[in-house]
Structure 1
Amino acid sequence: PSPGEEVPGEETLIEESLADIEGLTGIDIKLISEPQVSGSEADGTGVNGFVEEPVYSEKEIQQFKEKYVLSQVPVSDSQNLNMDIIWSYPEGLEKGDPYVRAGTVGKIDEDKYQDFLFGTKNGQLIAVSGDSGSEILRQDFGKPFFEPVLVDLNKDRSDDIVLTFEDGDIITYTTEMERLWTYSGSDRITALPLFIDVNKDRTIDIIFSTLGMEIIAIDGRSGFEIWRFFDAESEIEFSPSGVDINDDAVEDVVFSTLNGYLYAIDGKTGWGLWKRNINGRPAGSVAIGDLDGDNNPDIVSLTQNGILTVFGINGNLLFTYELNSTYKSAPSVGDIDGDGNDEILILDQNGIVKSIEGKTRREEWSFATEEGTTAGRLALADVAADRGMNVLFTTLSGLLFVLDGRTGNQIALYNYGENVHATPIIFDLNRDRVPEIISGSDEGSLVALGVTGSKKKFLPFTRSYWISTNHDVKNTGYASVRLLKKFLD
């Protein structure tokens, strides 16, 4: 406010927010702070014996406004730089179905190439050939689902398709679209599940969060419930992650809640192991990596108000680092400069990327995009074939950036010409020993890209591929070429 200007109160700010939504959508919205009764108040029933309850809370309206405004980000007019188009889908001027979430890589048909499987905003499941981008599978489910996952659920050495629907259903199929089983939950599912073996039957199980503030584990072979954790004290908005905490050879589950706490629960039993304060609302899922160099995994949390916190595997606080910015995307972790120490990569809402060395907390470099934030996650992979890691991310304004992991310098840029919400996926789809970058736009354009001048590798850095939003089915947000680098040395 200007000097002498009255600071608006909370009620005024809420009214202004509602006016903004009405202006954007044309919808007349009224905020009901208390339940209002229609008809006679004497008998306490109202008209026809029903009491009118508020439809949306103040929190829900604010979340709606934030999500709606994200979709109104202007498309960038930046020019492409050092990017080659390998294939595009659909071909020509035809428009595809709106692609919002990321896809995944796996074998769908019987040729020698890995394929790309993704879902659309209107509930279509589509697979395209990794070699050519031609459509090889399409099925309409009529309702939205999180990104599809390809994982072997029954130990038959072939991937199965797992579809997690927002309404609480999980349905699994073979790649020939033969249904295996269906799980129907009573609560909505809030994020992409975690895929680990919790009952020691050597097959993958599925762990997911619900709107009812629960974490549920179901058997990957049958879909039957294994255990349920219901002691979270707030909503769970982001995907849980898997890491072995108590050294029992079973992956445990780590997740954060909207009221600012990090939980660790035992993978075998679903019992709580520990709970820690992260000092704010989480910006996304946690990341897993070795930040202090002791060869044990550490847990990295980032809050929306810029508090970066790292815990040891037993919940011991390693450090807290306060950042002078705000965040809406999860951190990623990896040794991107090849010095043997893992870095933490973050992107703030102003579009500034930072690389922070985990061991020293020293900021190694920063890069300002001037394009705002991403709705996805920073991906780490070697796409320039220079034996180093690159940092890749999309912006809501429709750009894909590729940065040098050592310096933070921009080496490539692609403009989709449309808004983009998805994390880029990185994999060598056509087996030419050069990884492709695959992502799509909100309007349905899907492209496989390559960095201009990338050389074929003598050995592919398979550990540096980024195959899902959170890098892997454990949702670790971690990628490294360290093991292969030791082998090459």
Structure 2
Amino acid sequence: MQKVFKQAITIALTLGVLAGCAGEEESIQKAPLPVVESNFTPVKVWGHKVGSGVGQYFSKLSPAVGYGKIFVADRDGIVQALEPDTGKVIWSQDLESDITAKISGGITVSYSKVFLGTENAEVIALDEETGEELWRTSVEGEVLAAPLVDEGLVIVNTSRGVLEALDADTGEDKWRLSGEVPTLTLRGDSAPVAISGGVFWGQANGRLAGALMGTGQMLWQQPIGSPKGSTEIDRLVDVDASPVIAGERLFAVGYNGNLVSIDLRTGQPAWKRSYSSANNFIVAGNQVYLITDKDHVVAVDARSGTEIWQNKDLEYRLLSSPVVIDGSVVVGDSEGYLHWLDPYTGEFTAQQKIDDSGIAIPPVKVSDGYLVVTRDGQINKMQMP
């Protein structure tokens, strides 16, 4: 039943229509494309297509950069290593066996391996140099977020609320920590982060949790949001965005919840502000940049939680998470546009059409440019003019 609920809410949110218990429907209107006079136009260095991409599925597969390569994948199981300067394929591996691979969690590169998670409740490790499959382990639930690899462990947060640690060399199960999962949740899970022997992740019950990485012993849980309202949709409180560690603070945001800055030493909030989001966010310098559930782009002072600016001109355009490139805040949208915003004012500085299939993940920075991935699997390496 829970899986059916997840599919239903995903479709509802994607179409932009939420239905209440009494059958009332609220139509959500996507903002028209803003008219922007671009101050610059990035140039395309090379392009490459990996399989069929992710289509309109939830999968938000982001490329990974490491060991002198760019690693990319599509949902059906094609994984490739590319040469950064040319986009030439170094190796290609097809992970599909008897069923579609459904890669959704990943890609993470570490310990000379490429780690991926799947909607088939598997974690897979490949050799980064050859693409050879080294091990494949079943876990407790779908893996929708990128695995964390640290201290010889691969840690995944599954759709069943289980944080599971595997041995990075063998895939052997080391420990599991189960959490509460409400009947109705958003489609997505928080990728765990780590520092100083601790692992931190968001939960579907509206809490941010911390545990000892070596043993899985719970350290603390901090509520980011609490269920409110009369319908199950109103009461969604998932913390699906990955937490961000910046200095001695841990930042987290929840759907129908709050943006919270937490002292890592005590686990107690330093400040809390009312923002609702299920998208990953970033901390750059003294500013937090996030995308709200209405697709407003917001900048918040990381020290105090004071809002600096809010841009509402991209409302309900299904934005990607933000990223900072060459001093600008950049987001992609479902129509395939990249939007560039001034980090201090939130005003548009440039706009660029990339692909009609849409952009679901933020651009990925590389040493001499950035990568833009479209839903149909097109990988473009771009550079600033």
Conservation of the 8 A alpha-carbon contact between 2:224 and 2:239: no
Q: Hey, what does 1:304 align to over in structure 2? A: 255
Which one-letter code corresponds to 2:379 in the other structure? L
Which one-letter code corresponds to 1:309 in the other structure? V
- Deviation, structure 1 residue 213: 2.0
- Deviation, structure 1 residue 306: 5.1
Q: Hey, what does 1:5 align to over in structure 2? A: none
**Which one of the candidate residues 238, 250, 273 is aligned to 1:282?**
238
Q: Which has the larger radius of gyration?
A: 1
Q: Hey, what does 1:49 align to over in structure 2? A: none
Conservation of the 8 A alpha-carbon contact between 1:119 and 1:147: no
Conservation of the 8 A alpha-carbon contact between 1:307 and 1:320: yes
**Which one of the candidate residues 353, 364, 376 is aligned to 1:415?**
353
**Which one of the candidate residues 153, 157, 170 is aligned to 1:205?**
153
- Deviation, structure 1 residue 176: 0.7
Q: Hey, what does 1:116 align to over in structure 2? A: 70
Does residue 96 of structure 2 align to residue 152 of structure 1? Answer: no
User: Secondary structure of the equivalent of 1:118?
Assistant: strand
Report the RMSD for the aligned CA atoms in angstroms: 3.1
Conservation of the 8 A alpha-carbon contact between 1:78 and 1:415: no
With over 3 angstroms needed to count, the CA separation of the structure-2 counterparts of 1:332 and 1:90, relative to structure 1, is closer
**Which one of the candidate residues 257, 265, 271 is aligned to 2:203?**
257
Which one-letter code corresponds to 1:226 in the other structure? K
Conservation of the 8 A alpha-carbon contact between 1:289 and 1:334: no
Conservation of the 8 A alpha-carbon contact between 1:98 and 1:121: yes
User: Secondary structure of the equivalent of 1:63?
Assistant: helix
User: Secondary structure of the equivalent of 2:103?
Assistant: coil
**Deviations 1:129-188 (Å, cap 9, x if unpaired)?**
2112233332222312135435332xxxxx322222221222212221233222223533
Conservation of the 8 A alpha-carbon contact between 2:52 and 2:74: yes
Conservation of the 8 A alpha-carbon contact between 2:298 and 2:309: yes
Does residue 340 of structure 2 align to residue 402 of structure 1? Answer: yes
Does residue 55 of structure 2 align to residue 97 of structure 1? Answer: no
- Deviation, structure 1 residue 68: 5.7
Q: Hey, what does 2:22 align to over in structure 1? A: none
Q: Hey, what does 2:215 align to over in structure 1? A: 269
Does residue 314 of structure 2 align to residue 370 of structure 1? Answer: yes
**Deviations 1:388-420 (Å, cap 9, x if unpaired)?**
x43222112211123332333333322123211
**Deviations 1:261-313 (Å, cap 9, x if unpaired)?**
121111121111111211241353243344xxxx52x2222222252222211
User: Secondary structure of the equivalent of 2:171?
Assistant: coil
Conservation of the 8 A alpha-carbon contact between 1:80 and 1:414: no
User: Secondary structure of the equivalent of 1:146?
Assistant: strand
Does residue 283 of structure 2 align to residue 333 of structure 1? Answer: yes
Which one-letter code corresponds to 1:278 in the other structure? I
Q: Using the alignment, how far apart are the partners of 1:374 and 1:283 within structure 2?
A: 18
Q: Hey, what does 2:371 align to over in structure 1? A: 438
With over 3 angstroms needed to count, the CA separation of the structure-2 counterparts of 1:73 and 1:102, relative to structure 1, is farther
User: Secondary structure of the equivalent of 1:400?
Assistant: strand
Q: Hey, what does 1:106 align to over in structure 2? A: 66
Superposed counterparts of 1:471-482, under 5 Å: none
Conservation of the 8 A alpha-carbon contact between 2:253 and 2:278: no
TM-score by length of 2: 0.79
Q: Using the alignment, how far apart are the partners of 1:183 and 1:259 within structure 2?
A: 26
Which one-letter code corresponds to 1:348 in the other structure? T
Superposed counterparts of 1:354-369, under 5 Å: 354-369=298-313
- Deviation, structure 1 residue 74: 10
**Which one of the candidate residues 161, 179, 184 is aligned to 2:114?**
161
Conservation of the 8 A alpha-carbon contact between 2:157 and 2:190: yes
Q: Using the alignment, how far apart are the partners of 1:120 and 1:75 within structure 2?
A: 30
Identity %: 17
User: Secondary structure of the equivalent of 2:13?
Assistant: helix
Which one-letter code corresponds to 2:44 in the other structure? I
Higher fraction of helix = 1
User: Secondary structure of the equivalent of 1:275?
Assistant: strand
Conservation of the 8 A alpha-carbon contact between 1:115 and 1:127: yes
Q: Using the alignment, how far apart are the partners of 2:328 and 2:84 within structure 1?
A: 22
Q: Hey, what does 1:19 align to over in structure 2? A: none
Which one-letter code corresponds to 1:285 in the other structure? A
With over 3 angstroms needed to count, the CA separation of the structure-2 counterparts of 1:266 and 1:283, relative to structure 1, is closer
Q: Hey, what does 1:234 align to over in structure 2? A: 181
- Deviation, structure 1 residue 75: 10
Q: Using the alignment, how far apart are the partners of 2:31 and 2:313 within structure 1?
A: 15
Higher fraction of strand = 2
Q: Using the alignment, how far apart are the partners of 1:150 and 1:190 within structure 2?
A: 13
Unaligned runs of 5+ in 1: 1-53, 108-113, 154-158, 198-203, 336-341, 384-388, 429-434, 453-489
Q: Hey, what does 2:10 align to over in structure 1? A: 63
Q: Using the alignment, how far apart are the partners of 2:296 and 2:132 within structure 1?
A: 45
Q: Using the alignment, how far apart are the partners of 2:301 and 2:36 within structure 1?
A: 32
Equivalent residues, number: 347
User: Secondary structure of the equivalent of 1:365?
Assistant: strand
